[in-house]
Structure 1
Amino acid sequence: MSDTIYPQESVYNFLLKKKTPISKPPRYVSKFRPAVVQEKKLNKDLKRTMGPARVELPPPEKYLIKHSKEPKLPDSEYPRKDRMRTAQKPRVPARTDKPLMGIHTNRNFVKTVECGVPKKPQPISVDTCKGHKQPLENSGLVPKYIKKKDFGEIPEYLRQRREEERRAQEEYEDFVREQREQAAKERLSDEEREAILEGLKKNRDTLLHEYQGLSLVTDTLSKKARKQHLEEAMDELEKEIDLLQRFKTCFIVD
């Protein structure tokens, strides 16, 4: 029956259809297959191990002895007994041995032992809990520098620097004094200075007496202005009095 497509509701759709067999292409076989099979048969089990095909085994008479493969030291020129004897101390004399006779000496061993000075132990310092120690002299605990001859004295370079600073200050003061003397026309004598100082003090006392006589209640503008004026005048007089008392040399300038 042909593969005609009928409508969906056609009766012919229920008829059995013949299945066409699928034809596969022949399997691929290499033309070198017989040569590969023959080569594999020829080389089979050739040198299966990493070593030679046959290993010669030792005969039963040459069996492996214990410690035979351990390295051995070369033989020394001296036997072991002689080496041990030279490293050891001389043997203790036996009871039957006779002491050496006829040896005389002038040394007094008793006096030497009694008068010998014992060796003083070296002072050390332990600085850790595990016992690490070092000489006490290198630990910084021994006062070395205070025992020097020049300890506590001013170094020479500091003395020179202070002397230069003092000389420069004196030169500056002399220069300022000369400038003031040149700029000033007249110098106040001690009597005039004392007279001016006494006059300033009298004026201050007068203003203070007047200030103390003011009313305690400053409820008007005139009272406040009068009090402020007296305070400013007294402050000015205090500054001038302090200036004359601090400087004994005064000059009169324009």
Structure 2
Amino acid sequence: MVVGQNGAHQQEESVYNLIPRVQVQAPKPPRYESKFKSTVRESFKDGKHEHRTMGYADEPVPDPQQFLKKKQNESKTMASSVAKETSSKRDSPQRKPPVPSIRDVPKMGTRTEKNFVQTNALDVVMTVPKKPERNVVDDRFGDKFPIDQSGLAPKYVFKKNFGEVPVYIKTRRDEMEKAKQEYQAYVSDYFRRGAMREMDDNERQTIIDGLKKQWEDVHHEYQTLSVIIDTIPKRQHKERLEHQMQLLEKDIDLLEKHQVIYIAD
């Protein structure tokens, strides 16, 4: 290819361009046909009628022996009309009574003994006046809302049972009192047998004081330990003192928490 000054492409002359070339067209592949073609066609035609919409291809000639007789189609026509009328009556809504005609004269001369003025006056006197709604205005534009349903007004404090102990708390209190009485009866039975005895206050206080004194001694020994614990015996001694103080604190807490303590002999 040679490009000229104006930018147009010019084809270079060649001997091979003078020989006409035969264009070879590739053969088309065979058309695909499914092997179920005949089966599908038969299943599609199955159950269909050829002359249902377009009529017969050849109109059949009526039989001369089966000629039309007198009043032969009246029974079919009457049956179809009765069925159509019945279905229309069933589907149509129930009709309202007709509008009275302009020539219909209403009943005249009927009078009543009721005194409407007196009845209205009694209704007004006996009517309970409507209570005004309790509303509250929350902005300068006058928008209001009912205060009773808003929760801003005290409502439950005016109930009859307000401030009283609930029933379930009374029931639970009675159950606890009953369980306590049963336990006291059980302990008294053991006292009679001599299997248990109750620790008096002086004995309990003496034990508490002794435990506290022992805790102070252990704590004093714990404070006298060296600051640097660099050997295994020192660490074991420190852990043993900490364990002793924890046990003493647990025993002191147990005795101070329970006022009544029973001892099994």
TM-score (norm 2): 0.39
TM-score (norm 1): 0.40
